[in-house]
């Protein structure tokens, strides 16, 4: 017998759970794309997006997934032959670097593995040695979704400042935005990118590049930018058609409007605090499971973990088995391990990830950990006892959690 029938729950690190309010907002006839409500819709969305990123800068909206935002940011700022520095803490840094290579940009990857954060002192040394200022940007993942590490942007800003280096600081916030605390302006991030389908709770298909005046200057000095990715018309055009480089993504915008209303209705500080608390619910259970048996949290230190996703190891083959079991028997889809292959586990079948981003509350997260507990039992994978009790304690005492 399967107990999977009922509402499915997608607990992967993006796309995330879509709120009914978002889906309902999208369920309407096609609007006029040249005039009328669509114009006021876009005018309202732009400032509300900036309030999510905590910036007074600009935002360009693209009809693309996160990979598109990666390419958009690079296309505006760099020319073939330009050098960028990429501190890597997991799969996604390599993805952005690969995008750069495709454009003829020369990335210098500094590897920090998949278990520790970026060491800003190392970056500072490299920047200080670059006296000719050939490095045009430091590009990093705020949260690397594969390893579930969270990198603090502030020490990187400090490294640039101490080295008196003019390179831009560029953050991939695709997994973290509207989940983990982030203040683009106050933390000195020049360019931040995100996508619609994670913390923003909208279907995949929109992505966003936030940029400040320093990035604008670099764009202005750039002799050639691909027409489609150029952010200038996307921030300055008067007409919505030009603003989107063609037909606007009407229904995604309806959904985004509803999602922004939800986020700002709750308040960004509260949204971050909710994610921090729900992450602690997940960790409380995982830490208990890890006390006996095979389960390990990929990031040992709580303060370095993402509040949006948790990567776990369970022993060769077991990650895959658990994901299969929870989907088939309980309607819970967990994330697969990404970029975590080892010599003894070349397919990465021992890993899995729990996405806890976006439209989530306590009953959903407690449900997810309850189902994982059931899966560990059913598959007879040894694990520490008392995980659910620990998880419930965090929900019972949420005030004890700071983000």
Ligand X SMILES: *Cc1c(COP(=O)(O)O)cnc(C)c1O
Residue 136 phi/psi, 5-degree rounding, is -90, -20
Nearest by Cα to 351 from 145, 209, 187: 145
Which residue, 139 or 175, has its beta carbon nearer to ligand X? Answer: 175
Asked if 67 touches ligand X (CB under 6 A), the answer is yes
Q: Is the peptide bond before 266 cis (omega within 30 degrees of 0)?
A: no
Expressed in angstroms, the distance from the first to the final Cα of the chain is 41
CB neighbourhood size of 176 (10 A):
29
Contact (CB, 8 A) for 115 and 300: yes
H or E segment at 91?
helix 91-102
Give the contact letters, 137-156, x = binds to ligand X (CB under 6 A), - = no: ----x---x-----------
Binding to ligand X (CB under 6 A): which residues in 4-23?
14
What is d(CA 371, CA 390) in angstroms, rounded to the nearest whole number?
A: 15
Asked if 230 touches ligand X (CB under 6 A), the answer is no
H-only helix segments in 267-345: 268-289, 318-330
Query: Which listed range, 1-9, 61-69, 103-111, 247-255, lies at the site for ligand X (CB under 6 A)?
Result: 61-69
Contact (CB, 8 A) for 182 and 54: yes
- Strand-pairing partners, residue 351, are 313
Contact (CB, 8 A) for 93 and 144: yes
Asked if 375 touches ligand X (CB under 6 A), the answer is no
Which residue, 171 or 273, has its beta carbon nearer to ligand X? Answer: 171
Asked if 199 touches ligand X (CB under 6 A), the answer is no
**Of 156, 160, 174, 338, which lies in the binding site for ligand X, with binding defined by CB under 6 A?**
174
Asked if 195 touches ligand X (CB under 6 A), the answer is yes
The least CB distance from residue 355 to ligand X, in Å, is: 10
The least CB distance from residue 175 to ligand X, in Å, is: 3
Which residue, 63 or 374, has its beta carbon nearer to ligand X? Answer: 63
Asked if 117 touches ligand X (CB under 6 A), the answer is no
**Of 16, 55, 65, 248, which lies in the binding site for ligand X, with binding defined by CB under 6 A?**
65
**Of 92, 210, 254, 283, which lies in the binding site for ligand X, with binding defined by CB under 6 A?**
92
The least CB distance from residue 62 to ligand X, in Å, is: 11
CB neighbourhood size of 254 (10 A):
21
What is d(CA 78, CA 226) in angstroms, rounded to the nearest whole number?
A: 11
Which residue, 258 or 338, has its beta carbon nearer to ligand X? Answer: 338
**Of 149, 175, 218, 354, which lies in the binding site for ligand X, with binding defined by CB under 6 A?**
175
The residues binding ligand X (CB under 6 A) are 14, 65-67, 92, 141, 145, 172, 174-175, 195, 204
């Amino acid at each position: 017998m399967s107990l999977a029938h009922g509402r499915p729950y997608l607990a992967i690190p993006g796309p995330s759970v879509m709120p009914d309010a978002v889906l309902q907002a999208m369920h309407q006839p096609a609007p006029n794309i040249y005039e009328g409500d669509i114009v006021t819709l876009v005018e309202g969305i732009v400032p509300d997006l900036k309030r999510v990123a905590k910036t007074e800068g600009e935002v360009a909206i693209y009809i693309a997934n996160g990979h598109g935002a990666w390419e958009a940011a690079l296309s505006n700022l760099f020319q073939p032959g330009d050098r960028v520095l990429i501190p890597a803490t997991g799969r996604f840094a390599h993805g952005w670097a690969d995008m750069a290579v495709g454009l003829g940009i020369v990335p210098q990857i500094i590897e920090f593995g998949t278990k520790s954060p970026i060491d800003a002192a190392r970056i500072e040394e490299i920047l200080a040695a670059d006296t000719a200022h050939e490095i045009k940007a430091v590009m990093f993942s705020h949260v690397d979704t594969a390893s579930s590490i969270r990198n603090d942007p502030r020490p990187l800003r400090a490294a640039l400042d101490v080295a008196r280096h003019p390179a831009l600081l560029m953050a991939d916030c695709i997994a973290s935005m509207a989940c983990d605390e982030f203040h683009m302006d106050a933390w000195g991030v020049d360019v931040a990118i995100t996508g619609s389908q994670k913390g923003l709770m909208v279907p995949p298909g929109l992505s966003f590049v936030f940029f400040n005046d320093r990035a604008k200057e670099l764009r202005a000095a750039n002799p050639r930018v691909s027409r489609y990715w150029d952010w200038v018309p996307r921030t300055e055009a008067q007409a919505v058609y030009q603003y989107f480089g063609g037909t606007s993504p009407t229904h995604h915008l309806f959904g985004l409007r509803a999602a922004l209303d939800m986020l700002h209705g709750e308040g960004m500080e509260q949204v971050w605090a909710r994610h921090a608390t729900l992450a602690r619910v997940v960790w409380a259970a995982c830490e208990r499971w890890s006390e006996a048996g095979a389960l390990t949290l990929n990031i040992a230190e709580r303060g370095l973990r993402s509040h949006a996703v948790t990567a776990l190891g369970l022993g060769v083959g077991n990650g895959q088995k658990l994901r299969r079991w929870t989907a088939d028997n309980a309607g819970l889809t967990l994330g697969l391990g990404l970029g975590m292959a080892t010599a003894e586990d070349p397919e990465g079948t021992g890993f899995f990830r729990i996405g806890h981003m976006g439209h989530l509350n306590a009953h959903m997260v407690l449900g997810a950990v309850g189902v994982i507990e059931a899966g560990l039992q059913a598959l007879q994978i040894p694990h520490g006892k008392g995980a659910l009790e620990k998880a419930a304690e965090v929900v019972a005492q949420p005030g004890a959690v700071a983000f």
